[in-house]
Amino acid sequence: MDWTALWLSLRLGLVTLAILLPVGLLVGRWLACSRFPGKGFVEAAFALPLVLPPTVVGYYLLVSIGGATPIGQFWNATFGHNLVFSFEGLVLASVIVNLPFAIQPMQRAFEAIAPEIREAAAVSGLSPWQVLLRIDLPLAWPGVAMGLVLTFAHTLGEFGVVLMVGGSIPGETKTIAIAIYDRVQAFDTQGAGIMAATLLMMSLVVLGLTYRLSSNVGRRHGG
Amino acid sequence: MLTVRLKQAAPIPLDVDLSCSAGDVLALVGPSGSGKSTILRTIAGLYRPVAGHVTVKGTSWLDTARKIDLPPHKRRVGFVFQNYALFPHMTALGNVVAALDHLPRDERTARGFQLLELVHLGDFEGRKPAELSGGQQQRVAVARALARDPDVLLLDEPFSAVDRVTRQKLYTELRELSRALPIPIMVVTHDFDEAARVANRMCLLDRGTILQTGTPRDVLARPASVQAARLVDLRNLFEARVIGHDGTRTFLDWNGRRIEALRADTRPAGADVAWAIPGSQVLLSSTDPNHADTTPNRFAGTIRDLIPLSENLSMTVVLDGADAPVLAMTLPAHSACRTGIGPGARVTIALMPDGIHVMDSDAGPDDGRETGR
């Protein structure tokens, strides 16, 4: 069992969550509540990582944040190391590939709230922020939780982008998914099996809990 | 005092100028698409018109010329939505308390209880909206709307989602509420009876413009135009020519029949006019039409249709004559039992001169609809 890799994966998952929670809430609610020309293309752009092969996303990340690019050079000058093949680079990649996993469930949950409910909140004297905190979030939280769980589980399992952008540096970019691949390559079937089973159990438990919680909420609101 | 002035050509055509005083209940009535809900939403700040202003108690809530547009949460407005739009995750009390942010925290619960008591829901404070009946949800919505201590109360089709019995009860409660509450109240409805039951003023709208404003009685029985008469479903609408005036009466020639109406001075002899009479002002006259009788406007005809309703009878009569006009009338249920009339029976009817309303003939070339002759 490669504890370093597991810990790195968990850390990557948590940091990704911390970034995608506010991003998903704001973008998801914005897409759910507003209509504007070209909205379909904006939604498509956020959904792209769902359909693109991870290697394609990884390739574009490499050519846009690599050491020779302006972003890469700026990063190097500011922090003294390259963005690619570092934990920070991995976080950036993870945030980008997980955008649809976080945004879409949250957007659907916000869309399920009737617009009159928000209007009623506004005419009851609630400011837009209070409407978000006191009306939208309590009603949409199963969807928000689902977005977070999907993001976390997907981060643990992400392989292609991590390999392209992070490589396999122990303690820095070698996640559990990469470690499993390494073990298989080294014909260590038992080591790979233990890690794979761990990942499988974690994903199942987290997803199962989320489904159970959200079905309870559905019953409570009579919906 | 609430004044509203709105003008725009698109996306929803609106050209409206209306006001509502404290203590008044103004009903906005019109077919769907007439813009009545949009007016209410504009007052609440949920819709922004191209041009217009909304002034409440001398304060501008909206003035497009001066670029004033207060957001909804800054307007002290009580709004009851058609489907109530209660917060589904909060209890009845929670819904009301949510609109009490302007009070100190420790006073909110007590005030919330008070408001629920006011709408007779004191025992239901812990129920979620899904556990309340339609009428109870409506009451919670009213309590929540009152919670803000509003400067205007707006109700958008508030009775459409409850059954008839509950509706009658809610009409009474709204009337009582309006007597106790010195603020302008506006109700949107497409039901004229409902408007007459809850409002003391009525504004008839069609395609974004006001056709007539007045007491419900006036608007319903004395429409300002043929268009208004059609909208309020005044079925007895005919054309005639003015013969002349005499004292308190005006005489009309209705395809050869002589009709006596209340004096309508503004129309000179020879003028083509339209006239209407509510079904309740058409009476059944049991005597022989040839018999000497001083009752004016008596005509013989045949009953075409007779529908017993809960409290009265709805009847149509085809009058004798080449034009065979059809008159709709309502009469008390017992009068039919007494006289034993039915479809096909010969009757004599009398048009009450007081009930005949004369208006300008609708000669608009763009209006393809025919007025019955």
Least trusted range by pLDDT, from A38-42, B292-296, B361-365:
B361-365
Confidence class of residue A222 from pLDDT cuts 50, 70 and 90?
very low
**Omega cis (within 30) before B11:** yes
Among B79, B86, B102, select the one facing A123 at the smallest CB separation: B79
Q: Do A122 and B98 touch (CB under 8 A)?
A: no
Domains and CATH numbers, chain A: 3-217 (1.10.3720.10)
Residue B20: which of B7, B47, B39, B38 has the closest Cα?
Answer: B39
- Is residue B350 within 8 Å of residue B338, measured between CB atoms? no
Q: Is B67 helix (H, G, I), strand (E, B) or coil?
A: coil
Q: What local confidence, expressed as pLDDT, does residue B364 receive?
A: 46
Residue B60 neighbours by CB under 8 Å, 6+ apart = B53, B54, B66, B68
Q: What is the rounded CA–CA span in Å between residue B78 and residue B219?
A: 27
Identity of the residue in A120, A126, A139 whose CB atom sits nearest the CB atom of B85? A120
- For the CA atoms of A126, B80, B69, B37, the dihedral, rounded to the nearest 10 degrees, stands at 150
Q: How far apart are CA B335 and CA B313, in angstroms?
A: 9
On whether the CB atoms of residues A83 and A75 are closer than 8 A, the answer is yes
A contact set with B (CB within 8 A): 114, 116-117, 119-128, 130, 134-135, 138-139, 221-223
Tens-place pLDDT, residues A85-119: 889 999 999 999 999 999 999 999 999 999 999 99
Give the closest of A126, A135, A139 to B73, CB-based.
Answer: A126
- % of residues, chain A, pLDDT over 70: 96
Interval B247-279: pLDDT, tens: 888 899 999 899 998 887 778 888 899 999 988
Buried b (16+ CB within 10 A) or exposed e, A44-64: eebeebeebebeebbbebbee
Output the six-digit token pair for B149.
């201590």
**What pLDDT was estimated at residue B163?**
84
Contact call for A222 and B71, based on CB within 8 A: no
Interchain contact, B102 vs A125, CB within 8 Å: yes
At residue B85's C-alpha, the angle toward residues B80 and B87, to 5°, is 120
What is the pLDDT at residue A220?
A: 53
In this complex, do B88 and A119 lie within 8 Å of one another by their Cβ atoms? Answer: no
Work out the percent of chain B whose per-residue pLDDT is above 90.
Answer: 50
- Report residue A208's pLDDT band, with 50, 70 and 90 as the boundaries: confident
Contact between B163 and B136 (Cβ < 8 Å): no
pLDDT at B28 over 60: yes
Q: What span, in angstroms and rounded, lies between the C-alpha atoms of B56 and B1?
A: 6
What distance in Å separates the CA atoms of residue B372 and residue B362, rounded to the nearest whole number? Answer: 12
End-to-end CA distance of chain B: 44
CA distances B64 to A200, A207, B151, B176, Å, are 60, 51, 21, 36
- Mean pLDDT on B107-119: 92
Q: Which residues contact A68 (CB under 8 A, 6 or more apart)?
A: none
Asked if the Cβ–Cβ distance from B72 to A122 is below 8 Å, we say yes
Q: Which of A117, A118, A123 is the best mutation test for B, with the most CBs of B within 10 A? A: A123
Please name the residue of chain B whose CA is at the shortest distance from the CA of residue A115: B85
Residue B129 distance to chain A (closest CA, Å): 9
d(CA A172, CA A123): 51
Which residues of chain A does B152 touch, with a Cβ-Cβ cutoff of 8 Å?
A: none
Mutation pick from B79, B87, B100 vs chain A, by most beta carbons of A within 10 Å, is B87
Helix (H) or strand (E) holding A3: helix A3-33
Give the DSSP letter of residue B256: T
Measured between beta carbons, the chain A residues lying within 8 angstroms of B147 are 124
Structure tokens that stand for B108 in this block = 């909110």
The residue of chain A nearest to residue B46, with distances taken between CA atoms, is: A119
Q: Which residue has the tokens 């609109």?
A: B99
The position carrying tokens 């199963």 is A142
Return d(Cα B139, Cα B143) in angstroms, integer.
6
pLDDT at A158 over 50: yes
Question: Is the CB of A126 less than 8 angstroms away from the CB of B98?
Answer: yes
The rounded distance, in Å, linking the Cα atoms of B26 and B154 is 10
pLDDT of residue B363: 58
Tell me, what's the ipTM?
0.80
Least confident of A86-95, B40-49, B188-197, B337-346: B337-346
All structural domains of chain B, each given as residue ranges with its CATH number in brackets, are 2-227 (3.40.50.300), 234-277+354-373 (2.30.30), 279-351 (2.40.50.100)
Chain B residues with CB within 8 Å of chain A CB: 44-46, 71-73, 75, 77-79, 81, 83, 85-89, 98-99, 101-102, 128, 130-131, 144-145, 147-148
How far from the centroid of its chain's Cα atoms is residue A115's Cα? 27
Cβ contacts of B206 within 8 Å, gap of 6 or more: B30, B31, B34, B227, B231
For testing contact with chain B, the best of A124, A139, A144, A214 (most B CBs within 10 A) = A124
Residue of A nearest to B144 (CA): A124
Q: What percent of chain B has pLDDT over 70?
A: 93
Helix (H, G, I), strand (E, B) or coil at B214: strand
Tokens at B254, concatenated: 């209705």
Share of chain A above pLDDT 90, in %: 48
